[in-house]
A and B are shown apart, each in its own frame.
Chain A
Amino acid sequence: MQFGIFSVGDVTVDPTTGRAPTEGERIKAILAIALKAEEVGLDVFATGEHHNPPFVPSSPTTMLGWIAAKTERIVLSTATTLITTNDPVKIAEDYAMLQHVADGRVDLMMGRGNTGPVYPWFGQDIRQGIPLATENYALLRRLWREEVVDWEGRFRTPLQGFTSTPRPLDDTPPFVWHGSIRSPEIAEQAAYWGDGFFHNNIFWPQEHTRRMVQLYRTRFAHHGHGTPEQAIVGLGGQVFMRKNSQDEAIVGLGGQVFMRKNSQDAVREFRPYFDNAPVYGHGPSLEEFTEATPLTVGSPQQVIERTLGFRDAVGDYQRQLFLMDHAGLPLKTVLEQLDILGEEVVPVLREEFAKLRPAGVPDAPTHAALAAARQQTEAAK
């Protein structure tokens, strides 16, 4: 089980001071948060990708490359990489490059993006969102897995004799998660390819998350009856064996928490941020929201119990990412939150999840595991 954080990268006014950080301050804060995540023992840092204010992270690999140089252990990921409006050729190149720079500590989460104008700004049409995601991802997979690619499709210039450079580290493409909040087509896509499925699990009731994950698991098992070839391009021979069971699909969840030793203090301190947050504010109250959705504002113990409850809803899963730096929370507060997460919450969760996990449930794939599986497959040929 991996634990980590994901950042949306919003520049938001701190409602308690009336001041927003500059873009520069916010970018430096995100970098400091990423380093802190490694320091407190988390496994994953993931950044969003956006192309409109008030969000700053438009260039994820620039940011992740810097973090890679400053860290030793933490896996660098995205939440999400826009598979619709980015050229799949550029994604193939950028993230293979990042794999080499970061010695394999890289995976990606694909998403479509839900900001209408971003599509035309990048020459695309939001009404084609699903077909774009499907075609672009199929091309991306080929670019990482085939040395020379001839390709023709609907949405980009054909390729003749194209080789994406650098080649993926150890000829092992980064693991891919597919993030979706409500599109069954994306759960299907993740299941079809044997990739991971990530539900952000933030703004929606738990029951909705449960249904989406269940759909993915069912379809994952269904596609497990595919050809060995499919299995090899998926996760390697080892995982082909696992594909017989939906319990062995690769699932990630998001979540948002705010903690203080005393839960009343947490509620008091977080309330102004909740009330004014662009995505939360001015609708249901904090109390209604924490009741209806996985948002947890309280003591570390409450966060532990709520997070273990996610497992009851969706089954054993592989990756838990928390959103910690959102809605104008100052850097100092976020760093304190990460201390609490790393010291008081994650160690208990690791132990509890490990105790509850039946044998045979896979770990979240790492580069080392995927490269080893690939070598085994090659040797078996």
Chain B
Amino acid sequence: MSALNLAVVSGGLSVPSSTRLLADRLVEATTAALAGAGREVHVQLHELRPLAGPISNHLVTGWPSPALGAALEEVSGADALIAVSPIFSASFSGLFKSFFDLLDPGALAGKPVLIGATGGTARHSLALDHALRPLFAYQRALVAPTAVFAASEDWGGTGDSHTDTLPTRIERAGQELAALMTVGGMRPADDRSPTAPVLGFH
């Protein structure tokens, strides 16, 4: 079987970035789970920081720079997507949203997506479910049930009696995305080849 294309969008702004760190961990977990199922993965990482200028230019001119155009195309064409944003003011960062505003409508339809976010404290974690999940629901993406939030304390903590540790959550999320990828997601009707495996929810 051919390798699967996994696109990764990391909206972190600092260097080094904990958002990128989380994205890398999610990629590792997904790749490991897919390897267990005998599938190879080709990973395309897109950090948004170097695209910040081109993204704002695209918003005002209506067309992308070559590098941004390539990133948009790779994300649209990938078999699955991992999207990770820092949480700013109770939501995804503006840059992260702007990037997804530039995708063609339908570009993510039926595509398995794993969402993640980072923030200073775990009190921001519901932003994943009230901001990122609706964004991808609007795009008709297939969002994995587990979304991973990494607060600063998670990088050195062991969780508490009510929560799994960060590595446990990352592993579970990676397995969920891998499962969605191996059944081929759920491409829109007009984009579906007769032989493509289709995921059915019952």
Contacts and interface: CB of A to CB of B under 8 A. Distances in A.
Interface of A: 203-205, 208, 282-284, 288, 292
A53 to B, nearest CB: 20
Task: State the majority secondary structure of interface residues on B.
Answer: helix
Contact of A204 (B56, B57, B62, B65): B62
Contacts of B15: none
B6 to A, nearest CB: 29
B139 to A, nearest CB: 20
Contacts of B60: 282-283
A292 B54 CA distance: 13
Contacts of B63: 203-205, 208, 292
B55 to A, nearest CB: 11
Contacts of A283: 56-57, 60-61
SS of A interface (majority):
loop
Interface in B59-113: 60-63, 65
A284 B57 CA distance: 6
12 contacts: A203-B61, A203-B62, A204-B62, A204-B63, A205-B63, A208-B63, A282-B60, A283-B56, A283-B61, A284-B57, A284-B61, A288-B57
Interface of B: 56-57, 60-63, 65
Q: Which of B60, B61, B65 has the largest count of A CB atoms less than 10 A from its CB?
A: B61
A30 B57 CA distance: 31
Contacts of B61: 203, 283-284
A292 B63 CA distance: 10
Contacts of A284: 57, 61
A204 B63 CA distance: 7
A292 B56 CA distance: 16
A283 B62 CA distance: 10
Contacts of A208: 63
A208 B61 CA distance: 13
Nearest to B60: A283
Contacts of A292: 63, 65
A260 B150 CA distance: 58
Across the A-B interface, give the 7 residue pairs with the lowest CB-CB distance, nearest first: A283-B60, A284-B57, A283-B57, A283-B61, A204-B63, A205-B63, A282-B60
A282 B53 CA distance: 11
Contacts of B56: 283
Contacts of A204: 62-63
A314 B65 CA distance: 21
Contacts of A205: 63
Residue of A284, A288, A292 ringed by the most chain B CB atoms within 10 A:
A284
A292 B66 CA distance: 10
A223 B57 CA distance: 38
